[in-house]
């Protein structure tokens, strides 16, 4: 695999009249790259863990909080498709095939397209974004994600005026994801895992599609090859191993809301003043740093991102829309 497209357009979007010019530009570029003896930062994608991602810029939107270790981030996971224990995903996702991988973008948009994962990595500007991740279970981590702004992709596909929400869907393949099989190993959820955002939340500059962490391709247990990260919401909004992104008119029926609407709202904004029906959300434990005996770490409104995102919810009753 090397290049089969030009840098400024994806093959899936090419209309026939553009093909001639595109092919000419491709030949010129291929010649230039061959002459330079380099691959211009292009990355032969493989699902092998530990592969470095090139051309990643540091983002000014990163937090200065201390990073959680690679080991903790990759061994303490929620990915119920691979079991409900925190150590299950690292163990059972080892042979998951994250390549080849296609993400289908469809629904209320002018330019539906199917993107190969390599195209997304090559085309969109990749940044390292260090974000806090606050799980609904009252623990948190600090993760150096590598990804691109979801809004870059949204602008490319041009939503129409009926697009009010964005729905995200995980791969459904119980042969590869044993937790999707009925039985003791599964979490009793409806598969595939579905999440959703309002279009303005999806367009917010903090919302990213992550393709890696710690400068390397996404480990399987963290949602290879591509997952959502919405840092001001509880971790379950950050859906893993996405195969479909659909623009819709109505609020999507998301997995956790469907399984228990009293406990898991659609918005799921981190909010220390709205407790989960079975436990407090006022504080949290930072994985790898805090023990059960450490003083409680206070949970911040919108997970500390209030300055950037509070205006999205002006006038909304956040106790009702939790």
The residue among 129 and 240 lying less far from ligand MTE, judged by its C-beta, is: 240
Question: Do residues 218 and 145 lie in contact, with contact meaning Cβ atoms separated by under 8 Å?
Answer: no
Provide the minimum distance between the beta carbon of 239 and ligand MTE in the complex, in angstroms, as a whole number.
5
Provide the minimum distance between the beta carbon of 188 and ligand MTE in the complex, in angstroms, as a whole number.
12
C-alpha distances in Å from residue 84, one per residue of 77, 201, 235, 265: 9, 29, 15, 21
Query: Both tokens of residue 96?
Result: 């998951």
C-alpha neighbours within 13 Å on the C-beta side of residue 122 = 23
The residue among 10 and 194 lying less far from ligand MTE, judged by its C-beta, is: 194
The residue among 29 and 63 lying less far from ligand MTE, judged by its C-beta, is: 63
Mention every residue, 6+ apart, whose C-beta is less than 8 A from residue 6. Answer: 22, 25, 26, 29
Provide the minimum distance between the beta carbon of 25 and ligand MTE in the complex, in angstroms, as a whole number.
38
The residue among 157 and 210 lying less far from ligand MTE, judged by its C-beta, is: 210
Provide the minimum distance between the beta carbon of 144 and ligand MTE in the complex, in angstroms, as a whole number.
12
The residue among 30 and 274 lying less far from ligand MTE, judged by its C-beta, is: 274
Provide the minimum distance between the beta carbon of 35 and ligand MTE in the complex, in angstroms, as a whole number.
41
Question: Do residues 190 and 196 lie in contact, with contact meaning Cβ atoms separated by under 8 Å?
Answer: no
The residue among 141 and 309 lying less far from ligand MTE, judged by its C-beta, is: 141
Q: Would you give the distance in Å from CA 220 to the centre of its chain? A: 13
> What does the chain come to in residues?
322
Angle at 167 between CA 137 and CA 227, to 5 degrees: 60
Provide the minimum distance between the beta carbon of 317 and ligand MTE in the complex, in angstroms, as a whole number.
25
In angstroms, rounded to a whole number, what is the distance separating the alpha carbons of residues 103 and 169?
Answer: 10
In angstroms, rounded to a whole number, what is the distance separating the alpha carbons of residues 8 and 53?
Answer: 20
What does the binding site for ligand MTE look like in residue numbers (CB under 6 A)?
77-81, 133, 135, 170, 193, 222, 235-236, 238-241
Ranked by CB distance to ligand MTE, the top (closest) residue is 235
């Amino acid at each position: 695999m090397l290049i089969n497209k030009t840098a400024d357009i994806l093959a899936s979007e090419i209309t026939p009249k553009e093909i001639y010019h595109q092919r000419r530009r491709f030949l010129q570029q291929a010649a230039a790259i061959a002459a330079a003896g380099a691959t211009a930062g292009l990355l032969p994608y493989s699902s092998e863990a530990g592969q470095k991602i090139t051309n990643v810029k540091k983002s000014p939107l990163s937090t200065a909080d201390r990073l959680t270790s690679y080991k903790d981030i990759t061994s303490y996971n929620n990915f119920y498709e691979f079991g409900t224990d925190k150590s299950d995903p690292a163990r059972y996702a080892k042979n998951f095939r994250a390549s080849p991988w296609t993400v289908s973008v469809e629904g209320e948009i002018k330019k539906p397209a199917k993107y190969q994962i390599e195209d997304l990595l090559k085309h969109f500007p990749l940044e390292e974004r260090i974000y806090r991740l606050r799980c609904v279970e009252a623990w948190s981590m600090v993760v150096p994600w590598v990804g691109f702004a979801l809004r870059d992709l949204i602008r490319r596909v041009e939503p129409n005026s009926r697009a009010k929400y964005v729905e995200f869907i995980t791969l459904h393949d119980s042969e590869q994801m044993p937790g999707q099989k009925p039985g003791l190993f599964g979490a009793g959820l409806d598969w595939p895992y579905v999440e959703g955002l309002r279009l303005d939340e999806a367009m917010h500059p903090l919302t990213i599609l992550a393709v890696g962490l710690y400068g390397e391709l996404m480990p399987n247990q963290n949602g290879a090859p591509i997952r959502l990260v919405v840092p001001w919401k509880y971790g379950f909004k950050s859906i893993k191993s996405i195969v479909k992104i659909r623009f819709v008119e109505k609020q999507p029926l998301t997995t956790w809301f469907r399984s228990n609407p009293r406990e898991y709202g659609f918005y799921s904004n981190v909010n220390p003043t709205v407790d989960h029906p079975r436990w407090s959300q006022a504080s949290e434990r930072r994985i790898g740093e805090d023990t059960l005996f450490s003083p409680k770490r206070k949970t911040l409104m919108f997970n500390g991102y209030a300055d950037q995102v509070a205006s999205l919810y002006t006038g909304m009753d956040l106790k009702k829309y939790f």
